[in-house]
Chains A and B, each alone.
Chain A
Amino acid sequence: MGQRYIPKKYLLLLALVIATTIFILDTFLPLGFSTGVFYVIVILISLWTQDKRLTYAMAILTTILTIVGYFLSPSSELHWQAIGNRFLAIFTLWATAWLCIYNPLLQHLEESVAQTKSILETAVDGIITINEKGKILTFNSAAEKLFQFSREEVLGKNVNLLMPEPYHSQHDSYMQNYLKTGKKKIIGLGREVKGRKKNGQVFPLYIAVGEAKTAKGRIFIGIVHDITEQKKNEEELRKLNEELESRVRERTRLLEAANKELEAFCYSVSHDLRTPLRSMEGFSQILLEDYAEYLDDEGQDYLRRIQSASQKMSDLIDDLLNLSRVTLTQIHRSNVNLSKMVETIANHIAQSYSHKVNLKIQPDLHAYVDERLFYIALENLLGNAWKFTSKTPNPSVEFGKKLQNHEEVFFIRDNGAGFDMAYANKLFIPFQRLHSQKEFDGTGIGLATVQRIIHRHEGKIWSESAPQQGAVFYFTVSKPPKLPS
Chain B
Amino acid sequence: MKHKQILLAEDNEDDVKLTLRAFKKCQIHNIIVVQNGVEALDYLLGRGSYQNPTPPLPHMVLLDLNLPKLNGLEVLKTLRSCKRTCLLPVIILTSSREEKDILQSYQLGANSYIRKPVDFSKFKEVVQQLGHYWLVLNELPNPNPKENHGFPAKS
Closest chain B CB from A280 CB (angstroms): 9
Q: How many chain-A residues does the 8 Å CB contact rule pick out?
A: 22
Residues 47-76 of chain B: 1 if any A CB is under 8 Å from the residue's CB, otherwise 0?
Answer: 000000000000000000110000000000
Residue A285 contacts which of B15, B95, B96, B120 (CB distance < 8 angstroms)? Answer: B120
Q: Which of A25-33, A270-278, A391-399, A421-429 contacts B (4 or more CB under 8 A)?
A: A270-278
Q: Complex: how many Å from CA A129 to CA B105?
A: 79
Report yes or no: B98 in contact with A267, Cβ–Cβ below 8 A. yes
Contact B121 A271 (CB under 8 A): no
Contact with A along B30-49 (1 / 0, CB 8 A): 00000000000000000000
Contact A283:B121 (CB < 8 A) given known A270-B95, A271-B94, A271-B96: no
Is there a chain A Cβ closer than 8 Å to B12's Cβ? yes
CB atoms of A274 and B95 under 8 A apart: yes
Q: Judging by beta carbons under 8 Å apart, are B119 and A311 in contact? A: yes
Q: Which of A277, A282, A314 has the most CB of B within 10 A?
A: A282
B66:A282 contact, CB within 8 angstroms:
no
Main secondary structure of the interface of B (DSSP, over half): loop
Answer yes or no: B97 CB below 8 A from chain A CBs. yes
**Taking CB as reference atom, which chain B residue is nearest A288?**
B120
**A286 vs B25: C-alpha distance in the bound complex, in angstroms?**
11
Scan residues 241-287 of chain A and give those whose CB is less than 8 A from a CB of chain B.
Answer: 267, 270-272, 274-279, 281-286
Q: Known interface pairs A277-B118, A314-B118. Does A286 touch B14 (Cβ–Cβ under 8 Å)?
A: no
Q: Does chain B have a CB within 8 A of A63?
A: no
Query: How would you classify the secondary structure of chain A's contact residues: helix, strand, loop or mixed?
Result: helix
Q: Which residues on B sit within 8 Å (CB–CB) of A271?
A: 65-66, 94-96
Within 8 A of A (CB), among B112-132: 116, 118-121, 123
B18 is an interface residue with CB less than 8 A from chain A: yes
Q: For residue B14, which residues in chain A have a CB less than 8 angstroms away from its CB?
A: 275-276, 278-279, 282-283
Using known A-B contacts A274-B118, A279-B14, A281-B118, determine if residue A286 contacts B97 with beta carbons closer than 8 Å: no
CA distance A310 to B123 in the complex (A): 14
A198 to B94, CA, bound (A): 81
- A321: B residues at CB distance < 8 A: 97
CB pair B15–A279 under 8 Å, yes or no, is yes
In the complex, A276 Cα to B94 Cα: how many Å?
Answer: 13
Question: Are A275 and B12 in contact (CB-based, < 8 A)?
Answer: yes
Which residues on B sit within 8 Å (CB–CB) of A283? 14, 18
Once the chains are docked, how many angstroms separate the CA of A284 from the CA of B123? 13
- Please give the distance in Å from A266's CB to the nearest CB on chain B: 8
Cα A441 to Cα B115 in complex, Å, equals 24
User: C-beta contact mask, A101-117 vs B, less than 8 Å → 1, else 0?
Assistant: 00000000000000000
Given contacts A278-B95, A278-B118, A311-B119, 11 further A-B contacts (CB under 8 A): A267-B98, A271-B66, A271-B95, A271-B96, A272-B66, A274-B95, A274-B118, A281-B118, A281-B119, A282-B14, A321-B97
Closest 8 CB pairs of A and B: A279-B14, A285-B120, A314-B118, A282-B120, A282-B18, A274-B95, A271-B95, A271-B96
Binding site for B on A (CB under 8 A): 267, 270-272, 274-279, 281-286, 307, 310-311, 314, 318, 321
The interface of chain B, by Cβ under 8 A from chain A, is 12, 14-15, 18, 21, 65-66, 94-98, 116, 118-121, 123
Q: List 13 A-B contacts (CB under 8 A).
A: A270-B97, A271-B65, A271-B94, A275-B12, A275-B14, A275-B95, A276-B14, A282-B120, A284-B120, A285-B121, A307-B119, A311-B118, A318-B97
